[in-house]
Amino acid sequence: MLFVLDTMVSAADTTQISASSFFGFMGVTMALVLANLGAGYGTFKAGAGIAAIGIWKPEIIMKSLIPVVMAGILGIYGMIVAVLLSQKVKNPLEYSYKSGFAHMASGLCCGCSCIAAGFAIGIVGDVGVRGNAQQERLFVGLILILIFAEALALYGLIVSLILSQS
């Protein structure tokens, strides 16, 4: 099935068969699934570090949960974009190919940014909590790096929201 420019028929023709919703729903799924993959990676990688240090320094476990919380936020970004897009994807009779591709790109932007940010948060969080257990002065540096990593997902969310308006 090829993706013929649907404005080659007149704009008023609403009887055309098209596959535009395929790409719209692909955007919904990619946003959610990839963001959750990133959130999951961040959670388990940082969680392994917390489990390792919690054995011999249990009093800093609650402070060390920050990477896990920040990774969870990525899943929320994915859910926001997925819910937003799923309300815009309609029946192919009313949904142009252009909107379908724009929503596909929107989902891919959010999903890929969140998975990248999740990897960064997980790996930095793992090493950071292990180091923080040995050196208290590390905490501020860890938080700053985690904030920079979270900002990546935010950039993806912003471009996603701009694309979803197309």
Partner 1 sequence: MNWGNPYDWTAVEWQSATWGERFMYIDPYFWSYFGVALALATSIIGASWGIFVTGVSLLGSTVKAPRIRSKNLISVIFCEAVAIYGVIMAIIMIGKVQTIESYPENQMAQCYTTALFGGYSLFWTGVSVGLSNLICGIAVGVTGSGCAIADAQTPETFVKILVVEIFGSALGLFGVIVGIIQCSGASFLKDCL
In the complex, which residues of this chain contact partner 1 (CB under 8 A)? 2-11, 16, 23, 97-98, 101-102, 104-106, 108-109, 112-113, 116-117, 119-120, 123-124, 127-128, 131, 134-135, 137-138, 140-142, 144-145, 148-149, 151-152, 155-156, 158-159, 162-163, 166
CA distance 15 to 56: 68
- By the 8 A CB rule, do 93 and 16 touch? yes
Closer of 11 and 62 to partner 1 (Cβ): 11
CA distance 96 to 92: 7
Q: How far is the CB of 158 from partner 1 (least distance, A)?
A: 7
Q: How far is the CB of 157 from partner 1 (least distance, A)?
A: 11
Closer of 91 and 166 to partner 1 (Cβ): 166
Q: How far is the CB of 43 from partner 1 (least distance, A)?
A: 15
For the chain, the helix, strand and coil percentages under 3-state DSSP, each to the nearest 5: 80, 0, 20
CA distance 16 to 135: 65
C-alpha 132 chain-centroid distance: 27
Q: How far is the CB of 79 from partner 1 (least distance, A)?
A: 19
Which amino acid is present at 115?
I
